[in-house]
Amino acid sequence: MQMIALGGTIGVGLFMGSASTIQWTGPSVMLAYAVAGLFLYFIMRALGEMLYAHPVTGSFASFASDYLHPVFGYLTAWANIFQFLVVGMSEMIAIGSYFEFWWPHLPQWIPGLVALLLLTIANLISVKAFGELEFWFAMVKVVTIILMIVAGIGLIFFGFGNGGYAIGLSNLWSHGGFFTGGVSGFVFALAIVVASYQGVELIGITAGEAENPQPTIVKSIQSTVGRILIFYVGAIFVIVTVYPWNQLGTIGSPFVETFAKVGIGAAATIINFVVVTAALSGANSGIYSASRMGYTLAETGQLPHRLTKLNRHGVPFWPVVTIAAGIGIGVVLNFIVPLLWPGTKNLFVIVYSSSVLPGLIPWVVILLSQIQFRKQHPIVAGEHQFRMPFSPWSNYLTLIFLGIVVIFMGINPSTRIPLVVGIVFIAAVLCHYWRTNRHK
């Protein structure tokens, strides 16, 4: 469960997209990851308090229905499905572009199709097969980040790979200071930073299928958030300390450059393999998470009952197949778009960015549900061994933080379109719920 949560959170955004947030706010992006990580901790503790008492599959959608209103459970489940469906589509698109590194003339849709078929088979075999696969995908990413941090520390403090001359810490405040983009640049970066953390709530979806839920939940949540912070803040610290922040846009992937600088000649090949693994991990998590949410909707009568049918391995067969088919749209786009619009660039970014706002919905309902959980179960909450700290004030403070992020997404031209896409999706889901339930 810990590796699944890490794998769902540490993705291609860190490996290839870290230069974008650094351009907005400079070295202070480290602080942005730390601040967002603090509120992420509160969100996960709120989820952990409810999971400890009631470990169920599709947990936060079930909690939203139980403690708020069925409309919140419906919206949360569909937001989670939409988020991971879009992420899975974008990862299939990304895999095609990554394989160009090794086979430049290979059509981009072929690697995506092969990857999707393999991941679908693994998810249909058993939940253990999914877990094992995700464990190793996550392990590759985690080991790469650890090596990156170790190599960076050698460069910064001991001069390894730099002729024995320690780089030092001066790049943190040179070239325009620590907050190079001012307050607005810092808050603009928060939107992308928050998006990069989305997926850690996968712990709440896997809890119902864990063998010993209570101790596993406690251990997973306590360790996962800390490790995510170390990996993100540590990696970003190395990047902005080794390189002047205003040169990062011209060097390509900072990971490739750091490994190359300490004498690893095959750095580009290694990192390309890692980002392929990261894309596979994202799609794998998407199939698992979205299929379990589809199963939860079918159990509550919001989707056809046949979607609750389990195969002989205990896996919800039709939700997995349906979600895999939806992710396959990314493969189709990779085939069609180059034919119809040859000049189209950043197809990955266009698809991926539309998942940002729906990805915040599970966090909001987790915080609101936990407040109602305390009110409805005062005895359970009072005797609880894994209580959320400072609740309900930590809930309110986190909700205000998420609200600020959404507001600045609308102000920032780079994130305005993804925000509109998210709003349209939420409105469509709510309208559909009202239309189908208005007579009940």
Beta pairing partners, 316: 310
CATH class (in words) of the domain with range 2-437: mainly alpha
pLDDT of residue 34 exceeding 80, the answer is yes
State the residue for tokens 């180059």.
338
Q: What percent of the chain has pLDDT over 90?
A: 19
Q: Cβ(25)–Cβ(248) under 8 Å? A: no
pLDDT of residue 343 exceeding 70, the answer is no
Find the angle CA(295)-CA(289)-CA(373) to the nearest 5 degrees.
75
State how far the Cα of 127 lies from the Cα of 202, in Å rounded to an integer: 14
399 against 22, higher pLDDT: 399
Mean pLDDT of 263-291: 82
Lowest mean pLDDT, pick from 37-51, 91-105, 110-124, 354-368: 91-105
pLDDT value of position 160: 82
pLDDT value of position 140: 87
- Top-ranked range on mean pLDDT: pick from 145-154, 188-197, 222-231, 241-250: 145-154
- How would residue 434 be classed by pLDDT, with cut points 50, 70 and 90? very high
Express each pLDDT in 391-431 by its tens digit.
Answer: 899 999 999 999 999 998 888 887 888 889 899 999 999 99
Q: Cβ(358)–Cβ(37) under 8 Å? A: no
Nearest to 68 by CA among 384, 392, 397, 371: 371
Express each pLDDT in 362-389 by its tens digit.
Answer: 999 999 999 999 888 886 666 777 888 8
pLDDT of residue 188 exceeding 90, the answer is no
Mean pLDDT of 162-173: 87
Dihedral pair phi/psi, residue 404, rounded to 5°: -65, -40
- How would residue 342 be classed by pLDDT, with cut points 50, 70 and 90? low
Mean pLDDT of 157-176: 86
207 against 177, higher pLDDT: 177
Nearest to 254 by CA among 148, 105, 176: 148
Residues whose CB falls within 8 Å of the CB of residue 189, separated by 6 or more in sequence, listed in order:
21, 24, 25, 29, 32, 181
Express each pLDDT in 267-279 by its tens digit.
Answer: 778 888 888 888 8
pLDDT value of position 323: 92
Q: How far apart are the first and last CA of the chain?
A: 38
Mean pLDDT of 85-98: 83
Q: What average pLDDT does the structure give for the chain?
A: 83
What are the residue ranges spanned by the domains of the chain?
2-437
State how far the Cα of 315 lies from the Cα of 225, in Å rounded to an integer: 28
Residues whose CB falls within 8 Å of the CB of residue 302, separated by 6 or more in sequence, listed in order:
74, 77
pLDDT value of position 427: 95
Grouping H, G, I as helix, E, B as strand and the rest as coil, residue 276 is: helix
Lowest mean pLDDT, pick from 96-110, 216-230, 307-321: 216-230
State the residue for tokens 């996968």.
202
Asked if the bond preceding 104 is cis, omega within 30° of 0, the reply is no
- How would residue 15 be classed by pLDDT, with cut points 50, 70 and 90? low
The DSSP code for 164 is T
Cα–chain-centroid distance for residue 294?
A: 19
- How would residue 212 be classed by pLDDT, with cut points 50, 70 and 90? confident
Mean pLDDT of 330-352: 71
Q: Specify the pTM.
A: 0.83
